[in-house]
Amino acid sequence: MNVRDILNAGPVIPVVTVDDAARGPGLARALLAGGIRVIEVTMRTPAALDAVRAIRAQVPDCIVGVGTLLDRRQIGPAVEAGAVFAVSPGFDPDLVAPVAAAGLAYLPGIQTVSEAMAARRAGLDTLKFFPAKAAGGTYALDQIRPVLPDIAFCPTGGIGAEDAPAYLKLANVLCVGGSFPAPTDAINAGDWGRIEDLARQAAALKV
């Protein structure tokens, strides 16, 4: 799948931190039951890649990727675990080619027009806008659209259920990323009913 296909799969990509890999499949099933197919597992815990591996094995309908990709050393393990896509908080031109060669769809982050132009020169037309709220939010994205009309964004960072609709109304926004469909406390508690309800609300944000 290419990155736009992934981002177009739903209005919200849950960005999750998993401390216990055994909870990964239950989390993925709850999100799917609520109408969300795509999940980004951040590589911030020792359990992250095992969680990706478990999700791919047990919940094959889920499109699972990894977040917080910072250097080349993380690419191979992410592919081995079964990740379909990778997300970086910023734009590092040295990561573009190796990520593509590994067969991963790639969503690097930018915060400024200069960074977006550099990513565009590297052949990328779909970017993460991070941290969205701190970088100017919907106003900034609306200002970027006329000067870079071919670039589409997934804003992430400081976005909750209450302000996600304002982002989703923008012509250059495909979806938003955030933890609000699957809060860490609900994951740690195994509260799949709560996550299914939150996922259903998130999936309904944009028709």
Q: Contact at 8 Å (CB) between 90 and 107?
A: no
Strand arrangement, sheet containing 109-110: 109-110, 126-129, 152-155
Is residue 203 within a helix (H) or strand (E), and if so which, with residue range? helix 192-203
Distances (CA, A) of 120 to 124, 138, 151: 5, 21, 8
The amino acid present at 47, given as its one-letter code, is A
Cβ atoms within 10 Å of 152's Cβ, excluding its own = 20
Among residues 40, 80, 196, 206, the one annotated as catalytic is 40
Q: Based on the residue annotation, tell me whether 162 is a catalytic residue of this protein.
A: no
Among residues 80, 115, 128, 133, the one annotated as catalytic is 128
**Burial (0-12, 13-18, 19+ Cβ within 10 Å), 149:** exposed
CA pair distance 172, 77, nearest whole angstrom: 32
Q: Based on the residue annotation, tell me whether 115 is a catalytic residue of this protein.
A: no
Degrees, nearest 5: CA angle 109-114-120 = 65
Catalytic residues: 40, 128
